[in-house]
Chain A
Amino acid sequence: MVTVLSDAYIIGAGETKFGELWEKSLRELAVEAGLRAVENAGIYSRDVEVLYGSNSLAGIINGQENIGALLSDFSGIAENHIPAIRIEASTASGGAAVRQAYLAVKSGEYDLVMVGGVEKMTDVYGSETLDLTSSVLDREWEAFFGGTPAALAAITARKYMADFKVDKEALAMISVNDHLNASKNPDAHYRNKITIEQAMNSTPVAEPLNLMDCSPITDGAAAILVASEKYMKKNKLDGIRILSSADAQDYLAVHSRKSMYGLDSAKIASQKALSKAGMKIDDVSFVELHDSYSIYGLLELEDLGFAEKGKAKDLVYDEIKLNGRIPVNPSGGLKAKGNPFGATGVGQFVEAYMQLKEKAGERQVKGAKNAMLHSMGGTGSMSVVHMVGDA
């Protein structure tokens, strides 16, 4: 039997509003996003052949495992009896789940795949949330001793700032840019603009990082439909092509890595993704990167290939703006659109889909042809990079 390799297209996308959504449950969020994607694509859910659910923390936050079954059941497709699998890769779950969909379509096994990412984070509060989100670190050798995601990012930030003479303002600019873009995104968690002064003088979280350097605790869900060219043409649909997909791992704990501020996972995954797509870094119209902490925005600009190590500070005042040379996070990014772990990476695809279809309204990146999407696990233990668009 001959297997026909197919290109994979995003034919529909939808998401919930991101935010503190007290009245909505894990399952309601997931179903809402899924239905929007189905409606957006103009397909019927009976055509979906496999469901990949992206989620990071439902087991410990909501006391719910068996997420695949939950999502398929409450999406109303239990009697379709299609496979429904949860993909967990910490905060990179979203990118990792889309990659599985890409591979599934590309291999010729499936013609229509649903990816739904969801996180319901506000079912626990305060210091307990911080204990649970610290499970993305090495529990026994980082979190055990008082390590939190913010603390590890802060340790990295201090070292980076010292070695490359980068001041805190450069970090703050990542958050200022996210908030400015999010002010134009109705789905964003925080739509207020912030000034450099507000960012610099906000409450300390883990020095030198302040509240405005840290992504918030966000509820939300996002979903996309990935289809083969055959399915798309047969049903007279159109879509945005997933040009390439790559992922890479690194050591789990920051203290084990070669460099505190070299995100090797991001570097390797982005190089692979560009090379597989036959593209150069200058071909990227905009990037959605995983700035769970402002310092990672700088490090990722470097390791994804937009600047030399230590030089991202030269990009953060103008180049990263919506109308700049390399627009960063038109969605508002993790800082301001929000960071619902399992949904975050899928949400980047929703943004890319809208941008590349020129339906992003006020935050439209003019003439956007293709995007780089970067989903990162924990403090950099994993990166998934996708190129989507026209090539």
Chain B
Amino acid sequence: MGEVSRFWRESVHRYRLVAHKCGNCMKVYFPPRDVCPICHRESIGKMKEEQLSGKGEIESFTVVHEVPSPFTRQRPYILAIIKLDEGPSITAQVVDCDPGEVEIGKRVSTVFRKIAQQGESGIIEYGYKFVLD
């Protein structure tokens, strides 16, 4: 679903974890936002790119058994919400471990991985996943 441009335009965020930081309240947002939900118009033109460290901890997670079509070859996979050290929480997979090793509160770091593939000859999508520290 979707053509190359849809994925290409998010590359900087998904490949390098570039966030936005509000120049007014200094809060960091990932995914990036053009308006700060705290500062509203005070933030216009002040949302600046901010490089994230890719480090954080697991807030909660699940092991997904019923998976959407682009993910059938990864079944089952671990999906987590991770609180990054710079503040924002994000949704991503945790890989290279057994589900039994994953716990709320464990430290994780990003790795660059293939996310999904659209069929045999479709686009291969890349982005971040996390591994346990």
Contact = CB atoms under 8 A, between A and B. Distances in A.
A143 B66 contact: no
Contacts of B80: 155
A289 interface: no
Interface string B98-133: 010000100000000001100000000101010000
A145 B79 contact: yes
Given A140-B31, A154-B62, A255-B89, A146 B69 contact: no
A2 to B, nearest CB: 38
B64 interface: yes
B26 interface: no
A146 B88 CA distance: 19
B52 interface: no
B19 to A, nearest CB: 12
B64 A146 contact: yes
Interface in B52-70: 59-70
- Most chain A CB within 10 A, of B65, B72, B88, is at B65
B85 to A, nearest CB: 15
Interface string A178-219: 000000000000000000000000011111110000000000
A348 B74 CA distance: 37
Given A155-B60, A156-B60, A144 B67 contact: no
Contact of A206 (B65, B71, B91): B65
A159 interface: yes
B61 A131 contact: no
A254 B81 contact: yes
B21 to A, nearest CB: 16
Given A145-B79, A145-B127, A155-B80, A255 B66 contact: no
B81 A140 contact: no
27 contacts: A127-B67, A127-B69, A130-B66, A131-B68, A131-B69, A140-B31, A144-B127, A145-B79, A145-B93, A145-B129, A146-B64, A146-B67, A146-B74, A148-B66, A150-B66, A151-B62, A151-B64, A155-B61, A155-B79, A155-B91, A156-B60, A205-B66, A206-B63, A207-B62, A208-B62, A255-B81, A260-B60
Shortest Cβ-Cβ A-B pairs, 7 listed: A154-B62, A131-B68, A159-B60, A127-B69, A255-B89, A207-B63, A130-B68
Interface of B: 1, 10, 31, 37, 59-72, 74, 77, 79-81, 88-93, 99, 104, 115-116, 125, 127, 129
Given A159-B59, A255-B88, 6 more contacts: A126-B69, A144-B127, A207-B65, A207-B99, A209-B62, A260-B81
